[in-house]
Chain A
Amino acid sequence: MKPETNDPLASPTKIKKKFLNTPYPWLIPLSLLLIVVFLYPIIEIVRMSFSDMNLVDSEYTYTFESYVRLFTLPGFWPMLGTTGFFVFFSVTFQLLCGFIVALLIVRGESLKLKGTIVVRTSVLVAWAIPGVVIGIIFEMLYTETQAGILNHFLSLIGLGPITFLSDPTMALLSVTLANIWRGTAFSMILMYAGLQTISKDVQEAAKIDGAGPFQRFRNVILPAIAPIVLINLIIISIDTFNTFDMVMALTQGGPGNSTEVIALSIYTSIFQEFNLGVGAATSVILLLINISMTLVYLRVLGKGRNES
């Protein structure tokens, strides 16, 4: 058996030196920061969700009550349905509209049309506006009295007033539309960046080979921008699932709870009913949805990309 001292690698000084020559020490500060800022709050939220904590009493007990309450009381499943509708249509149309706008700008640029920069900048403005402000702007648009901008114009052509916010179905549609408008700009930015990466030579070659516009889109453009679409999809889906500010400013979740999305329900549980346990349990559900959705996207779209 060889004595330990004879192994140069086993010397503590050597080990230390070798460790310092790796990237790991440089990751320590960031890891610590991530643990403090991300991991610890997540662990705390999970812990809270298994308790009956509230904002007032410092005493609490551990219980499954918050989850039982969520899954058994009226309101939770309709809220998930509302959120699902809101997210599905928001993401689909943000992606679609973002792509169309980006395609138009790229096309405009290739045709050397004037004003493409103005269009690009104008669309970007929507991205820069805070959600609360967008909520207020759309509330002014949707107002159902004569003071409402949309209803004013609709009444001029004999179509108003429309119950944009007081009818449960219309309210959900109105909120989703506002969110599509809000998110289209971000999608456009990513799609535009993706479209810029496509080689003109490849497109030209496809054209010469006789590929029509749809074939070029399906076989050249789409595969080339697939990574961007995947990233875009993940970001806007998570962003939409977590939407709170705009809905709060626009409808406060009403009428009734027809526009109450998950993030708003967390706010109501914690800050209006002081119920930390239920708020935390709802947050855990939201976290799980976000994680699962990201994994599904990565698996389905990532796989598709590898195959292509």
Chain B
Amino acid sequence: MKSFSLLSCCAGCFLIFAVSCTSADDENTLTWITGSDSSPDAPDEEMSSYVQQNINAIESDYGFTMQHSIHTSNIDEAMARLQEQATRGQAPDFALIDGYAIERFEEHLQPLNELMDEHGMDLNDFLPFAQDVMVGEDGNVYGLYLSTDIRYVFYDTRFVPEPPKTWDEAMEISLDLVDQGYEGLVLPLGIGEGTAVTSLWPLFWGQGGELIDENGQPSFYNEDNKEHMLNVFNGIHKGVQTGAISKRMATNGEENDGNAEISTGLVKMLYPGSWQINTFQDILGDDFQYWDVASLPMLEGGEQTSSVGGWAFGIFTEDPDKQQAAFDFLQRTYVGAEGMARFTTRDGSMPVRSSVYDSPEFEPIPFIDEFLDILEKEGQPRPPDQIYNTVSVQLQTAISQVVSGSKTPEQALEDAWEIATFGMEDDE
């Protein structure tokens, strides 16, 4: 009896272990991972039913069961997990990827040229920056860009009649606002990717700065780049010292932190992302009519620059039937001319296909013409290199240290460089 109990116990353990190890791979299931807002679980009911309808149509047309999962809200973490899955050969059949990072997944993604031809999708219809990211070094298309965004200055014309063109002008206006009892310029300067793409990169790129060199190594402290980055750090540091920028900005790491700021009624000038404009319209109500948008102010002599972001889908599965079904779903829902028009209208983001802007099904967000102008003339995506995340995290931390007063600009930058490049001399 004892032996039997023992055997049962061991068998139970084995069963639990075996069940936990069972592979989820199923030839009749099409697995995919996406963001919460673009999924059938989207909080917006209209979006969720739109995506669900397309899922039902694909399931009915192709006989697959579509099984989705949602990326974590931390984009870096989400991309890290997806990359780990792809490296282990356990990526879902297709997945939403942070647009600029497509190149990192290239060796695991399937080329989509033939499927694009089959579905009559013209690569040239995509905006130039998106084409650059979508097409790999071998000339094949690996990602399908579905939406994009840019950064700009948003200001209340009753208090800021003319938008600042240079950083110094922005600081002057900001000080003036502070003197009147309002907040100064609100921009992300804490730990978060928003700080990098909104506050640091445009000012740095505008001077011709290069974050990562052609060999994929950090270069933000080499030669002229060091001076360019120090200019950015010193400019922000001076803004904090004079009171034009509140030290509080060291706790804001994302553009969306601006939503809470603007709701206080004391903010008259800030740096947001284009996707926030609908939220601002809701928060500001009738006052929204007094607000306007403009390009980000640059450091003296800098070329006008803004960071572009957005998302793309990539297909991992090697099964041709699954590829066909996945592409058809993406085309209908997010990437086809009609799909993109419908998706971006619901999502409030910017389409990346030129034709979609003229589509009758596309309902643009406020200031879309200005945003498109900024996107085409000034938009620059982040470098796709693997080291980018380390560079970004270290510089976010560094500027946050400068703003909070724990390090000088020189010291913070030097430490960031030392950490980001540790061990690299040995490799060379």
Interface residues of A (CB under 8 A from B): 20, 25-26, 28-29, 32-33, 36, 54-58, 65, 69, 73-75, 143-147, 163, 165-168, 171, 251-258, 268, 270-275
- Contact between chains at B251 and A270 (CB < 8 Å): no
- Bound together, the chains give a CA A117 to CA B355 distance in angstroms of 67
Known: A252-B253, A254-B191. A271 touches B3 (CB 8 A): no
Q: Which residues of B sit under 8 angstroms from A275, Cβ to Cβ?
A: 390
Instruction: Return the contact of B419 from the options A55, A58, A75 (Cβ within 8 A).
Output: A75
- Bound together, the chains give a CA A255 to CA B190 distance in angstroms of 6
- Contact between chains at B17 and A166 (CB < 8 Å): no
Q: Interface of chain B, helix or strand or loop or mixed?
A: helix
- Contact between chains at A58 and B250 (CB < 8 Å): no
Q: B416 — nearest CB in chain A belongs to which residue?
A: A74
Instruction: Return the contact of A144 from the options B248, B253, B386 (Cβ within 8 A).
Output: B248
Interface residues of B (CB under 8 A from A): 2-3, 6, 9-10, 12-13, 17, 74, 76-77, 80-81, 83-84, 87-88, 104, 190-192, 246-251, 253, 260-261, 263-264, 266, 386, 389-390, 393, 397-398, 400-401, 403-407, 412, 415, 418-419, 422-423
- Contact between chains at B74 and A268 (CB < 8 Å): no
Q: Which residues of A sit under 8 angstroms from B253, Cβ to Cβ?
A: 252, 254
Q: Kindly list the 8 A-B residue pairs having the minimum CB-CB distance in the complex, ordered from nearest.
A: A256-B401, A255-B404, A255-B250, A271-B77, A254-B191, A273-B390, A74-B415, A166-B247
Known: A32-B13, A145-B261. A254 touches B251 (CB 8 A): yes
- Contact between chains at B404 and A167 (CB < 8 Å): yes
- Contact between chains at A145 and B264 (CB < 8 Å): yes
Instruction: Return the contact of A57 from the options B77, B87, B266, B418 (Cβ within 8 A).
Output: B87
Q: Which residues of A sit under 8 angstroms from B264, Cβ to Cβ?
A: 145-147
| Most A-side CB within 10 Å, residue of B6, B12, B404, B419 | B404
| Most B-side CB within 10 Å, residue of A163, A254, A270, A273 | A254
Q: Which residues of A sit under 8 angstroms from B2, Cβ to Cβ?
A: 20
- Contact between chains at B419 and A74 (CB < 8 Å): yes
- Contact between chains at A272 and B76 (CB < 8 Å): yes
Q: B403 — nearest CB in chain A belongs to which residue?
A: A255
Shortest beta-carbon distance from B267 to chain A in Å: 9
Instruction: Return the contact of A168 from the options B10, B13, B191, B404 (Cβ within 8 A).
Output: B404
- Contact between chains at A251 and B406 (CB < 8 Å): no
Instruction: Return the contact of B251 from the options A56, A74, A144, A147 (Cβ within 8 A).
Output: A144
Q: Which residues of A sit under 8 angstroms from B251, Cβ to Cβ?
A: 144, 165-166, 251, 254-255
- Bound together, the chains give a CA A272 to CA B420 distance in angstroms of 13
Could you pull out 29 A-B pairs where Cβ atoms are within 8 angstroms? A26-B6, A29-B12, A33-B13, A56-B83, A73-B419, A144-B248, A145-B248, A145-B266, A166-B247, A166-B251, A168-B405, A252-B191, A255-B191, A255-B400, A255-B401, A255-B403, A256-B397, A256-B398, A256-B400, A256-B407, A258-B404, A258-B406, A270-B80, A271-B77, A272-B76, A272-B77, A272-B389, A273-B393, A274-B83
Shortest beta-carbon distance from B22 to chain A in Å: 16
- Contact between chains at B192 and A252 (CB < 8 Å): yes
- Contact between chains at B389 and A274 (CB < 8 Å): yes
Q: Which residues of B sit under 8 angstroms from A25, Cβ to Cβ?
A: 6
| Most B-side CB within 10 Å, residue of A20, A73, A272 | A272
* Known A25-B6, A268-B393; further 12 A-B contacts with Cβ < 8 A: A26-B6, A55-B87, A56-B104, A75-B419, A147-B264, A165-B248, A167-B247, A252-B192, A254-B253, A255-B251, A258-B406, A273-B393
- Contact between chains at A20 and B190 (CB < 8 Å): no
- Contact between chains at A29 and B400 (CB < 8 Å): no
Shortest beta-carbon distance from A59 to chain B in Å: 10
- Bound together, the chains give a CA A192 to CA B22 distance in angstroms of 45
- Bound together, the chains give a CA A147 to CA B283 distance in angstroms of 15
- Contact between chains at B13 and A256 (CB < 8 Å): no
Q: A36 — nearest CB in chain B belongs to which residue?
A: B17
Shortest beta-carbon distance from B141 to chain A in Å: 22
- Bound together, the chains give a CA A48 to CA B52 distance in angstroms of 42
- Contact between chains at B423 and A69 (CB < 8 Å): yes
Known: A29-B13, A73-B419, A253-B191. A272 touches B406 (CB 8 A): no
| Most B-side CB within 10 Å, residue of A146, A163, A257, A273 | A273
Q: Which residues of A sit under 8 angstroms from B419, Cβ to Cβ?
A: 73-75
Shortest beta-carbon distance from A32 to chain B in Å: 6
Q: Which residues of A sit under 8 angstroms from B407, Cβ to Cβ?
A: 256
- Bound together, the chains give a CA A36 to CA B3 distance in angstroms of 23
- Contact between chains at B76 and A65 (CB < 8 Å): no
Shortest beta-carbon distance from B297 to chain A in Å: 23
- Bound together, the chains give a CA A253 to CA B251 distance in angstroms of 10
Q: B420 — nearest CB in chain A belongs to which residue?
A: A273
- Bound together, the chains give a CA A256 to CA B386 distance in angstroms of 23
Instruction: Return the contact of B247 from the options A20, A56, A143, A163 (Cβ within 8 A).
Output: A163
- Bound together, the chains give a CA A77 to CA B9 distance in angstroms of 48
Q: A54 — nearest CB in chain B belongs to which residue?
A: B386
| Most A-side CB within 10 Å, residue of B6, B80, B81, B407 | B80
- Bound together, the chains give a CA A56 to CA B101 distance in angstroms of 12
- Contact between chains at B87 and A256 (CB < 8 Å): no
- Contact between chains at B191 and A145 (CB < 8 Å): no
| Most B-side CB within 10 Å, residue of A57, A146, A274 | A274
- Contact between chains at B3 and A166 (CB < 8 Å): no
Q: Which residues of B sit under 8 angstroms from A58, Cβ to Cβ?
A: 87-88
Q: Which residues of B sit under 8 angstroms from A147, Cβ to Cβ?
A: 260, 263-264
- Bound together, the chains give a CA A29 to CA B6 distance in angstroms of 9
- Contact between chains at A73 and B418 (CB < 8 Å): yes
- Bound together, the chains give a CA A275 to CA B386 distance in angstroms of 11
Shortest beta-carbon distance from B90 to chain A in Å: 12
Q: B412 — nearest CB in chain A belongs to which residue?
A: A256
Q: A258 — nearest CB in chain B belongs to which residue?
A: B406
Q: Which residues of B sit under 8 angstroms from A75, Cβ to Cβ?
A: 415, 419
Q: Which residues of B sit under 8 angstroms from A253, Cβ to Cβ?
A: 191
- Contact between chains at B80 and A274 (CB < 8 Å): yes
Shortest beta-carbon distance from B193 to chain A in Å: 9
Q: A168 — nearest CB in chain B belongs to which residue?
A: B406
- Bound together, the chains give a CA A251 to CA B252 distance in angstroms of 9
Known: A145-B264, A146-B266. A55 touches B248 (CB 8 A): no
- Contact between chains at B423 and A55 (CB < 8 Å): no
Q: Which residues of A sit under 8 angstroms from B12, Cβ to Cβ?
A: 29
Shortest beta-carbon distance from B398 to chain A in Å: 8
Q: A146 — nearest CB in chain B belongs to which residue?
A: B264
- Contact between chains at A55 and B401 (CB < 8 Å): no
Q: Which residues of A sit under 8 angstroms from B423, Cβ to Cβ?
A: 65, 69
Shortest beta-carbon distance from B292 to chain A in Å: 24
